[in-house]
Structure 1
Amino acid sequence: MRVFVTGASGFVGSAVVRDLLGAGHRVLGLARSDRSAAALEAAGAEVHRGDLGDPDGLCGPAAASDGVVHLAYRHDLMHTGDLTAAAGIDLRAVEALGAALEGSGKPLVAASGAGIVQASGPLATEEDPAAPGTHRTPAEEAVLALAGRGVRSCAVRLPLSVHGPGDRAFLPEVIRRARARGVSAYVGDGANRWPAVHVLDAAVLFRLALESAPAGGRLHGVAEEGIPFRAVAAAVGRRLGLPVRGLSGDEAAAHFGWLTPFAGLDVPVSSALTRERLGWRPTRPGLLADLEEGHYVEV
């Protein structure tokens, strides 16, 4: 297949590109900078210059491809607290990609977030819908609705911690703030749980979904159902030689900043249906083992 990948030079995207190429697919990657374009070319992918903020510019490469993997997201806006703007850009991109693929039967596999699920039991499952009003809910619902318009669409919900060498998201921010404040912290008693997946296992799931996932489904890219955040803080503290403390209220907000609602999030997630339906079997190190390898604290 010739696959158009948005976010192709990002942390998850670059792993997905390598996995697709390794499986014999051809990749056309979206690049908005010379640096991203060079990285894609070095990996063996074709390059389409463009930007997520120009949704009309996504239509041509999507229509000319055999399938699309949509991974790009304006995380920089999330970090400034502008979740609404980031979500709006994502929704418009999904709508443009869907319009380009409408009636074709081609696959569209789009990243979503496990943190938005409205769990009906002790573990969130693929059958649980996104909670109303969360920032990524409209885009996920738009992806699923495309199944009724002749697109083999599915949403892959990723956990807060997609970890591995090169990670630039939540876990590095937890470490950066621990270093800056001299304490590795968690919110309250730290019993809230973070699901996790290694980036290379996530990449395999995106490829499997592209190749064979049924239309209109939700998949959970989760290898570990839920790791207590205090265990994450303890591992960070041990690697950095810092004390570990629970913080509440204003103290927690001052320590974690924009990360506060995520640091306190409790979203244990199952991927049993995803494994059954696609034969996905995560094999890479877990989050705590990955932390112990040292690459997170070397910089």
Structure 2
Amino acid sequence: MRVFVTGASGFIGSAVVPELIGAGHRVVGLARSDASADALAAAGAEVLRGALDDLDSLREGAAASDGVIHLAYIHDFSRYESAARTDAQAIETLGAALEGSGRPLVIASGTLGLTPGRVATERDTPDPGSGVSPRAAGARAALSLASCNVRSSVVRLSPSVHDEGDHGFIPTLIAIARDKGVSGYAGDGSNRWPAVHRLDAAHLFRLALEIAPAGSVLHGVADEDVPVRTIAEVIGWHLGLPVAAISPEDTAEHFGWLGAFLAADAPASSALTRELLGWQPTRPGLIDDLDQGHYFRNTSG
């Protein structure tokens, strides 16, 4: 297939591109900057210049493709709802270019906030009152395209997609520990996070592109329920820092914007995804990946 990929030079996209090329697909990556364009060309992809809010470039890329993987997202928590609207508009634009063709559209979403306190499955839908509801609009838009003869699917990723080069929640938590002189966890630390290695996630995106039925919801989850206290303990051991509980009233001050996410109890399963697509994660889990040490070499204090 000729596959149009948004977010192709990002942390996850830079794993998806070689996964696709290695399977014999041709990749056209959306690039906003010269650096992104150079990285894509070096990886063996074609380049289409544009941006997430440049709807003409999205239409062009999708119309000329045999399938689309949409990974780009504006990760700015100070304008979360605006970013979600931009994402939903991009998905609608991509879907309109594919409408009636039966071609695949795979988008990225998240598991965090689906079913607080119990294991989320692919059959669960976000609570409209939850903090994930703005981004969920994009997922709903994608799934609705199945009725328009678009083979759409949604890959809900774990809050921790880990590997060398990660710049998400875990590196932020490490930086906070270095700054505060203590590796903290919220409450009693029994709340759980799912996680997936970036290369396992990339493989899932390829399988979704190739074989996921229209309207599929998939979970990019390898570790179902890593206790946040365990994460803090591993960080503390690697940094030589004490590990301590942070009280609920101090969580926001200690962790900043990360506090609300860190306090969430959000385990998730991928059993249905594995059964549907035959996806089997093979890369190290989150704790094993942390123990390899690269998170601590690459995080400045």
Q: TM-score, normalised by structure 1?
A: 0.96
Deviation at 1:217, TM superposition (A): 1.2
The residue aligned with 1:177 is 176
Moved more, 109-118 or 183-192: 109-118
| Amino acid of the structure 1 residue aligned with 2:204 | L
| Identical aligned residues as a percent | 61
Distance 1:57 1:116 in 2: 32
SS of residue matched to 2:118: coil
Deviation at 1:123, TM superposition (A): 1.6
Is residue 297 from structure 1 mapped to residue 296 from structure 2 by the alignment?
yes
Unaligned ranges ≥5, structure 1: none
The residue aligned with 1:130 is 126
Deviations 1:70-120 (A, max 9, x none): 000001x22xx221111111111101101111111000000000114247x
The residue aligned with 1:254 is 253
Distance 1:149 1:248 in 2: 49
Asked if structure 1 preserves the Cα contact closer than 8 Å seen for 2:113 and 2:264, the reply is no
Distance 2:98 2:14 in 1: 23
Unaligned ranges ≥5, structure 2: none
Aligned ranges 1:69-108 → 2 under 5 Å: 69-75=69-75, 77-78=76-77, 81-108=78-105
Distance 1:83 1:241 in 2: 35
Deviation at 1:241, TM superposition (A): 0.5
Moved more, 21-30 or 247-256: 247-256
Distance 1:25 1:131 in 2: 37
Aligned ranges 1:175-214 → 2 under 5 Å: 175-214=174-213
Distance 2:64 2:113 in 1: 32
Deviation at 1:150, TM superposition (A): 1.1
Deviations 1:140-161 (A, max 9, x none): 1111101011100000000100
| Amino acid of the structure 2 residue aligned with 1:253 | A
The residue aligned with 1:117 is 114
The residue aligned with 2:67 is 67
Distance 1:55 1:292 in 2: 42
SS of residue matched to 2:119: coil
Asked if structure 2 preserves the Cα contact closer than 8 Å seen for 1:116 and 1:137, the reply is no
Is residue 10 from structure 1 mapped to residue 6 from structure 2 by the alignment?
no
Deviations 1:10-53 (A, max 9, x none): 00000000100111100000110000000000000000010002
Distance 1:118 1:96 in 2: 30
The residue aligned with 2:286 is 287
Distance 2:123 2:221 in 1: 15
| Amino acid of the structure 1 residue aligned with 2:61 | P
Deviation at 1:216, TM superposition (A): 0.5
Asked if structure 2 preserves the Cα contact closer than 8 Å seen for 1:116 and 1:136, the reply is no
| Amino acid of the structure 2 residue aligned with 1:129 | T
Q: TM-score, normalised by structure 2?
A: 0.96
The residue aligned with 1:223 is 222
SS of residue matched to 1:167: coil
Distance 2:88 2:198 in 1: 24
Distance 2:267 2:23 in 1: 31
The runs of at least 4 aligned residues of structure 1 exceeding 4 Å deviation read: none
The residue aligned with 2:145 is 146
Asked if structure 2 preserves the Cα contact closer than 8 Å seen for 1:131 and 1:137, the reply is no
Moved more, 260-269 or 62-71: 260-269
Distance 1:293 1:135 in 2: 36
Deviation at 1:132, TM superposition (A): 1.1
Asked if structure 2 preserves the Cα contact closer than 8 Å seen for 1:116 and 1:130, the reply is yes
